[in-house]
Structure 1
Amino acid sequence: MIKRHVARIAVAGVIALLVPAFAAPASAEFSLAVVNDDFAAALPVDALPYANVQDLSTATAEDGEPTSCFGSTRTVWYSYTPTSTGMVTAGTGPDYPGIAVYTGSSLDSLTEVFCRPLYGYAPVTFEARAGTTYLFRTGADFAEQVTFRLDVAPEPEVDFSPPGYEPSVFDMVSFWPSVHDPAGLGIASYRWEFGDGTTSDAQFPRHRFTADGDYSVRLTARTVDGRSASASHPVVVRTHDVSIDRLGVPSTARVGQTVTVTVSVRNTRYAENVEVRLDRGGPFGYEQVGVDTQPVPVMAAGRSTTFSFDYTVTADDRAAGKITFRAVAAVLQNRDALPADNELLSTPVRVS
C-alpha cells in the first residue's frame, strides 16, 4: 500500500507542494501519522493476518482512557469483529509495549478481556467470538515506531530428537521433545505413538522396542485451548550381538612349546565382522598376545565360528607356574547390544 504525506515548503516566496511516496511492506499497513490515537478512531481489522505500523512519538492518551495492567501517555487503538469464533493472537514488535483487549462501545463501558503489561513479551491469545467487537489498546511511553499484529492463533511448534544410534531390543530409548506454543498459552498434553502399537502420555518417555524393525515414532502436542500439532521421525531398531561361547586351551604346557588357543564366537542375528583379541595374564594385568579379524556369519544355535591363535610358552610363564588367557570379541561396524558376553577367561594352563 502507498501512503502519501503532503507538506508545504515556502522558498523565496514560492509555495511548493511536495508529495513524497512511501512504500510499505507488503504485510503491513504503514502510516507516518497516528490516525488511531483515540478510542473512537480505532483502526478496524478487516481480515487476518493483519499488521499495522504506527509512530507512537506523536500519540497521546485521551482523557478517561483505562490503564488496565499498564499505563502509558502514548497509545493507539484497533478494533476487530470476527465473523466466526476462534482463538486469535495479538502482539507487538518490538515486544515490550503493553496490550489490553476490551469489549464495549465507549470508554466508560469497557470490559477487559485480557491484558499484557509492559515488558510482558508473551503474545495476547484469547477466544474471539463471532459478532463481538474487540478493542485493542497498545502503547508505551518510550516506544517510537510500533507494529501491531493480529492473527489466528498458530499451531504449537512440535519436534523431537530421535536416538542418534540404532537401538537394540535390550535398550530403553529416551525421547526428548522440543515443543513450544507461540501463542503463549502453554502445552497441556503429550501423546507418543511408537509405531509398535504402544503409546505414552509422558513428556519424556523411555521405551523399549521388543523386535527389530523400522518404526515411525510420532509425537502430538496439544495446547491448553485445544490446538495441536504433530511430528514424526523414523527409528531403526537393530540388535547386533555376538558372544564368546568357548575358550579352548591345553591343560598343561612347557617352556618353548607352541600351543593352540581357540576362541568360539556365536552369532544368531546378523552377519558381522568381528575382531577377537587374545590376552595373556601377567603380574601387571593382561597384555595382548594375538589379534584376528574375520567375518562371522549367522549360524543356528549351538554352532559357532572359530578363531585360532598360536602361543609359545616363555620362561616367565614357567616362573608364574601357569598361564591364564583372556579373549575379547568386538563387532567392528556396529554396536554390540550385550558386550558383557564378549569376554571370557580360560582355565589356567599349568606350565612345567
Structure 2
Amino acid sequence: MLLSLRSRGRIALATALTAAFALLVPGVAHAAPPSNDDFDQPVAVTALPFAAQLDTTEATQAVDDPSWCQSYDVRGSVWFRYTATADGYLRATTQDSDPSMILSVHSGARGDLRGIACATGTAATTTFRATAGTTYSFMVSGYDVPGGALSFALDSVAAAANDDFAAAEPVPALPFSARPDFSVASFEADEPESSCQYEGNLVPSVWYAYPNPGPAKSVTARTTGSGSAVSVYTRASLPELKQVACTSNSYGQPTAFRAAAGTTYYVRVTGPADGREPVSLTVDDAPALDPSVYQSPSYPTVYDTVSFSAESWNDIDKPMTVAWDFGDGATAPATTGTVSHRYAKDGTYTATLHATSPDGRTVTKTDEVVVTTHDVGIAKFSVPASAREGDSKAISVDVSNTRYTETATVVLSKYDGTWWREVGRLTLEVPARPTRTVKFPFSYTFSPDDAAMGKIAFRAELKLDYPVTDARQADNEVIAIATTVKPRGSRVVAV
C-alpha cells in the first residue's frame, strides 16, 4: 500500500515523539554495543600476557564477519588485534567465559582475511605459530545465543621441548608414556617420510629416543587420539634416518620392532595441530608370542588329512611363520599358512609348532593329536523277496568290524510312500574280527498297508554310540531291493 505525504509525515512525527518521550522517562536504560564491536575498532593488545573481561550481550554482527570457523549460529562479535613481536607460538582462550563462544584468528585486511585457527566452547582455546611483524585479528562471537560475560586472554607459549629431532626426549625405561601437545609442535626440515602418515609429511611432530642397553628384545609403540601416528627409526641424524616400524591410530594396534642391544631408536609421534583430541604415546616391551593352535578334524582317523594352523589375535604377531613337527617323524618347513598331514597308524601324537613373529619373538607349543579309526560296516542285508499280508518274515543285517570292539546299533526302517518309518532297532556288541561278522536278527510282520502298496523297501542304518563316529560311513546304510507284498490268500513264492 502507498501512503500519502501527509500520512507519512504523521508517522514520522509520532516516531520522533515516542523516542523523545523515552529519553525523558526516568529508569529507562539503553545499552550500547561494546567498543570493539567492529573489525575496524578492535581492542589493541600491546603487551603479553593480555587479559580482558567485558559484556558482549549487545555485540552485533557485521555482514562481512568471517564465518569459516562456524558457518551458522553466530550471534554478534567483538575484536582484538595483536602484532607479533617475535616468531613463536601464541595461545588465545575464552577460559572462564559464561556462554559458549566462537574464537577465530585471522591475518590480513578487512575483506581479505585469512583464517589461521579457531575453536568453540565456554573455554575455547587455540594455539598457533605466529610470525614476527604479522598482525593477527581475533574475533570472539556468541554461539547460538547472544554473547555474555567474556573473558579473553592472549599469551605466548613455548614450543614443545622435544619438537626437534636433536632435542628428542629420552625414554629412560619401559613402560613409558607421554601426552604430547601438537599445538606447540611443528614440522622440521628434513624430517623423514613415514609409511603410516597419510596426511602428508608437513604435520606437527615430537621426538623420543629409546636406547636399548641390551639384550635384544621386541618393543611396541602405539598412540591414541584421532589423526595420530607413531614411526620408529634408526641411525643418528635426520637425513639418514631409516624407518623400522610404524602405525597410525586408525589401526587401533601398536607397532612392534626388534630393538638390538646397544642401539638407539628414535620415535616420532605426529598428530593434529588443532589439539582438539588429546594424543598419548606408550612404549613398552612386546607381549609374549602366544598363538592359538587349531587342528581339524578334532578326532582324526587314518583316512583323514589333518589340517594344522596357528593364529594370533594380536596384529603385531602377523604374518607369523610356523614350522611343524607332527610327532610321527614327519615335519613341515616354516610357512605362514595352514599345513596338512595324514597319520598312517592309530595312536596319540604330540604335534609341535615353532612360531616366529615379524619382529623376532618366538614360541614353541605342542598339540596332542589322538588318531582313532573306528570302521564298521554292513556286510550283508537280507530281506524276503516276497511276502503275504500277515506273514512274519526274518530280516537280518550282518555287521563287519576289524579294529576295536564296538557297541553298534542297527535301525531298520521301511518306506511307506512318504518317508522312512522305523520298524526295529537292535544294539549289540561287535567284536573286532578280521573275517567274521555279527548278525543282527529282526522279524517283521507285513500289514494290509504293505499289501496295498504292493512293494515295500527296507533300509538298514548302522550307528555307533556318540561321540564315536565311523571313519568310513559309506557302508553304514543299505537299502535292500523291495519286497513284493500280496494280499492275504494270494499265492506267493516261498523264500
1:104 paired with 2:236, answer: yes
Question: Alignment partner of 2:474: what SS?
Answer: helix
1:200 and 2:351 aligned: no
The C-alpha deviation readout for 1:240-290, integer Å capped at 9, x for no partner, is 2321122234455433221121222223333433322223355x3664352
Q: Which residue of 1 aligns with 2:425?
A: 292
Q: How does 1:25-174 map onto structure 2 within 5 Å?
A: 35-47=161-173, 49-56=174-181, 59-61=184-186, 64=189, 66=191, 68-69=193-194, 71=201, 74-84=204-214, 86=216, 88-94=218-224, 96-104=228-236, 110-114=239-243, 116=246, 121=251, 123=254, 125-126=256-257, 128-141=259-272, 142-143=274-275, 145-152=278-285, 156-163=289-296, 165-174=298-307
Structure 1 letter corresponding to 2:191: P
Give yes or no for contact 1:98–1:116 (8 Å, CA) kept in 2.
Answer: yes
Give the AA of the match of 2:267. F
CA shift at 1:62, angstroms?
A: 7.3
Encode CA deviations 1:143-195: one digit per residue, 9 max, x unaligned: 554443334555544222233642222222333431466547x4363322222
Percent identity at matched positions? 31
Aligned counterparts of 1:67 and 1:321: Cα–Cα separation in 2: 89
- Provide the secondary structure at the position in 2 that maps to 1:340: helix
What SS is found at the alignment partner of 1:292?
Answer: strand
Aligned positions of 1:228-239 closer than 5 A: 228-239=362-373
Take 1:164 and 1:341, find their aligned partners in 2: how far apart are those partners?
A: 21
How far apart, CA to CA, are the structure 2 residues paired with 1:294 and 1:118? Answer: 64
For residues 316 and 447 of structure 2, the distance between their equivalents in structure 1, rounded to whole angstroms, comes to: 77
8 Å CA contact 1:157–1:229 kept in 2: the answer is yes
Contact 1:53 1:145 in 2 (8 A): no
Letter in 2 for 1:332: D
Gaps of 5+ in 1: 1-32
Instruction: List gaps (5 residues or longer) in structure 2.
Output: 1-158, 486-491
Whichever residue aligns with residue 138 of structure 1, its letter is V
> 2 CA distance for matches of 1:212 and 1:165?
14
Identify which of structures 1 and 2 has the higher relative contact order when contacts are C-alpha pairs closer than 8 Å and 6+ apart. Answer: 1
Q: In 2, distance between residues paired with 1:287 and 1:137?
A: 73
C-alpha deviation, 1:341, in angstroms: 0.8
1:190 to 307, 319, 322: 322
Structure number with higher strand proportion = 1
Secondary structure (helix, strand or coil) at the match of 2:179 reads: strand
Alignment TM-score, normalising by the size of structure 1: 0.72
The count of corresponding residues between Structure 1 and Structure 2 is 314
Q: Residues of 2 paired with 1:191 and 1:233: CA distance?
A: 13
* Contact 1:36–1:76 under 8 Å retained in 2: yes
| 1:140 partner amino acid | G
> How far has the Cα of 1:300 moved from its partner?
1.5
Question: Secondary structure at 2:241's aligned position in 1?
Answer: strand
- Give per-residue Cα distances to partners, 1:100-158, cap 9 Å, x unaligned: 535336xxx64212174755746555554544444333231255544433345555442
Paired residue type of 1:195: G
Q: Distance in 1 between matches of 2:349 and 2:306?
A: 13
- Residue 205 of structure 1 and its aligned partner are, at CA, apart by 2.2
1:82 maps to amino acid: N
1:15-59 CA-partner distances (Å, limit 9, x unpaired): xxxxxxxxxxxxxxxxxx955344444322233x23121341563
In structure 1, C-alpha distance between the alignment counterparts of 2:472 and 2:287, rounded to whole Å: 46
Aligned counterpart, 1:4: none
Q: Is the 8 A contact 2:221 2:284 kept in 1?
A: no
Summarize deviations over 1:273-314 as a string: whole Å, max 9, x none: 3322223355x3664352223232323223333322221234
Deviations 1:196-224 (A, max 9, x none): 22223451223322222222333333245
> RMSD in angstroms over aligned alpha carbons?
3.6
**TM-score normalised according to structure 2 size:** 0.54
Q: C-alpha distance in 1, partners of 2:358/2:375?
A: 45
Offset of residue 94 of structure 1: 0.7
